[in-house]
Chain A
Amino acid sequence: MTLSPEEWQAVVLSLSVAGRSVLLSLLPAIGMAWLLARGRFPGRTLLDACVHLPLVVPPVVVGWGLLMLFGIQGPIGGLLQSWFGVRLVFTTEGAALATAVMSFPLIVRAVRLSLEGLDAGYEAAAQTLGAGPLDRFLTITLPLMSPGILAGTVTAFAAGLGEFGAVITFASNIPGETQTLPLAIYSATQTPGGEWVAARLALVSFSLAIAGLLLAEVLSRRMQRLLGRV
């Protein structure tokens, strides 16, 4: 089975969009997870609910919301356009942004779980040994929550490969620009005689998902060993 250049393009674009979306959401998600797990402030429950919105709202609605905010007429999109000449709608970057918003809660959840499962006694011990806040975070907290970060990253990447609704609504379905794997499969099914294309791309999707899961498993085992849990 060989893929046509157009099909390859969709695969590579999917990987690129998913990768960029993770890069975009990883740090803010770790910060948000920290805030939700350790922070004590009014409105925490409300913030928690807002973070999880993309999981429960239809993806098309998220895409529409992004269009309102980041569209050329939108309050943020307008500023980006006039100040930096950056346009997000109908671009690969826009697709990555839409994917990042969708996968943000997935990373937050995984990281937060690992943070809440982390024994605060280790950080207290580091503190008595003379480690300040940033030092403690980098040498103790971050390594100990890395399995959660890894799990969140892999899940977000895998989910990002398949993001459909938000991407097609915000970034549209432009081959080579925003037409990721699921969008290409959708287009193929809408084209007469496209069944084989759809089947080939579906198989690619399937293989990528399996490979991702296996990679996550291997990495997770190695990490557990590094953390001395085995």
Chain B
Amino acid sequence: MLQVALRHRFPSASRAAGRDSSPRAANRDGFALDVAFEGLADGVTMLFGPSGCGKSTILAAVAGLLRPQHGRVALGGRVLLDTAAGTWLPPEQRRCGVVFQDARLFPHLSVATNLRYGLRRAPADATGPGFEEVVALLGLDDLLDRRPARLSGGEKQRVALGRALLSRPALLLMDEPLAALDGGRRAEVLPFLARLRDVARLPILYVTHALDEVDALADHLVLLQAGKVLAAGSVEALALRTDLPLAARRDAGAVLAASVVSHDLARGLTRLGFAGGHLLVPLRPEPPGSQARVRLRARDVAVATQQPQGLSTQNVLPAEVVGLGAAPTPHEAFVRLRIGPTEVLSRITRDSVERLALTPGMQVWAVLKAVTFDRG
């Protein structure tokens, strides 16, 4: 369990003058950070928010690269920082592996030496994947003799991931590791991140402002805005909150943990099970029994007051209306539906809400027009 509580105010321009003239520091004039949240002991806790919301500052404070005015950071009972008790571990003793946005591979060392830099300095009793294993995991075999200057952006980030992982950290910190990459490179690195998450069995604190990274990697979300925590919780729970900025995204909707039940090769269908029922989707490559995270976009969920007949979609499930919420556009509304124990969202017009006279407690049918996969 990672516990973070921080309060920090950056000095305003006049006081900061001459002390730190980096552009990043200049942007932070008078910025105040006041956050408290907990992260998962195993899995990805994602700090999500717009640029300038303080998420990278939090990461720097956890790593020890920034000294906050007030705060406490503890990782599984080990206190890294406690301003009240006067505890401050220097970064080299925190065992927080950091993957920086700009990779920061040492330019004068080969890829192999970069990878071993942290490994050689890790405590003798620290366990973790070995050199060969990490090289294989991240596909670095052909790069080992090269200098960082001769790597592509995506290759650099993969090496940076390996270097951080090989330092045998107790916590992995990722500061927008894909933000400096273009679309193609992102797609190249993202699967490696997912593999690393599955192999590392570590708490990972991941900072991003990109939704596709949230969908692909996050287990737990902390939403930040202007130096404050807006909401925190599981991805599934926060996806249902219509009052959060997340609801404004085009593909807003419920996120469900599902598992592959069976394949029907003749009909080209896969049956997924979730708490509340089954879904039929076009044939998936995953074997039966594997876990998946699916997204039921609110705009793909229709509501019927009678069991519909003659529909192309086979995913029609009995549901109960739980509540109604405002949608980002004035003529639309979110309808919260409960399918068994699972809640999903439907985004329909206000006119439809009135025509069907939807009220909480009403028994309806949820018509699922599409199911998308966040994570196979």
Contacts and interface: CB of A to CB of B under 8 A. Distances in A.
Contacts of A229: 107, 149
Nearest to B121: A130
Interface in A121-145: 121-122, 124-132, 135, 139-140, 143-144
B61 to A, nearest CB: 13
A50 interface: no
B90 interface: yes
A226 interface: yes
Given A132-B92, A135-B121, A228-B147, A127 B108 contact: no
A228 B65 contact: no
Contacts of A228: 107-109, 147-150
A206 to B, nearest CB: 35
Contacts of B97: 128-129
Interface string B149-168: 11000000000000110010
Interface residues of B, number: 32
Contact of B118 (A130, A140, A143): A130
Interface in B110-135: 117-118, 121-122
Interface string B77-102: 00000000000001111111110101
Contacts of B149: 228-230
A174 interface: no
Given A135-B121, A228-B147, A228-B148, A126 B106 contact: yes
A109 B316 CA distance: 76
A131 B92 contact: yes
A121 B98 CA distance: 12
B63 interface: yes
7 contacts: A125-B100, A127-B90, A128-B167, A129-B163, A130-B122, A229-B107, A230-B149
Given A124-B65, A144-B108, 10 more contacts: A121-B102, A128-B64, A128-B65, A128-B164, A129-B121, A130-B93, A130-B95, A131-B117, A228-B148, A228-B149
User: Lowest 3 CB-CB distances: which A-B pairs, in order?
Assistant: A130-B121, A228-B147, A129-B118
Interface of B: 19, 63-65, 90-98, 100, 102, 104, 106-109, 117-118, 121-122, 147-150, 163-164, 167, 173
Interface of A: 40, 119, 121-122, 124-132, 135, 139-140, 143-144, 226-230
